[in-house]
Structure 1
Amino acid sequence: MSDRELYCDICEGVVLFETPHCGDGHGADCPELACTGCGAAVLIAAGTLRLATRSRRRVPRPAHRHAA
């Protein structure tokens, strides 16, 4: 188990958080933490985020109109 001090919204202060037993096999690197004061759970997101992008297909722009 790894421990760290974080701010807990429920306890309204800095409290010791610990990693509970991880059934997913993460071990000490488990992203879940539990407050030792009230038991509130926190998820630490340490992964990467892949954003969807628009396709690179060019869309023709409309022709500019000129005054007659």
Structure 2
Amino acid sequence: MSDREFHCDNCEGVQPFEAPPCVDGHGADCPELVCTGCGSAVLIATFAFHAPQLAARRRPRSTHRRAA
């Protein structure tokens, strides 16, 4: 089990959190953490986003001038 310190809303302060035994096979990197003070559970979620690809910007090419 790994210990991490986070703010617990129920305990109203910084408390150590630990990862319970994970049935999903995450081990110590389990995103579910439990406050050792009151037993409140939190979920730490990380997301990987791919940078959006912007379409190539094209400037209209004007071959003639417009009269004013």
**Does TM, scored on the shorter chain, surpass 0.5?**
yes
CA distance in 2, matches of 1:25, 1:5: 22
Structure 1: any 5+ residue segments left out of the alignment? 51-55, 57-68
SS in 2 for 1:28: helix
Counterpart check, 1:39 vs 2:39:
yes
Aligned residue in 2 for 1:19: 19
Find the aligned partners of 2:11 and 2:2 in 1 and give their Cα distance.
20
Compute the displacement of 1:49 (Å).
5.3
| Map of 1:48 onto structure 2 | 47
| Cα-Cα RMSD | 2.8
Structure 2: where are the runs of 5+ without partners? Answer: 50-54, 56-68
Aligned pairs, how many? Answer: 66
Q: Distance between the aligned counterparts of 1:15 and 1:48, measured in 2?
A: 25
Give the superposition deviation at 1:48: 2.0
Distance in structure 1 (CA, Å) of the matches to 2:47 and 2:33: 19
Alignment partner, residue 8 of structure 1: 8
Identity score, percent: 70
* Greater radius of gyration (CA): 2
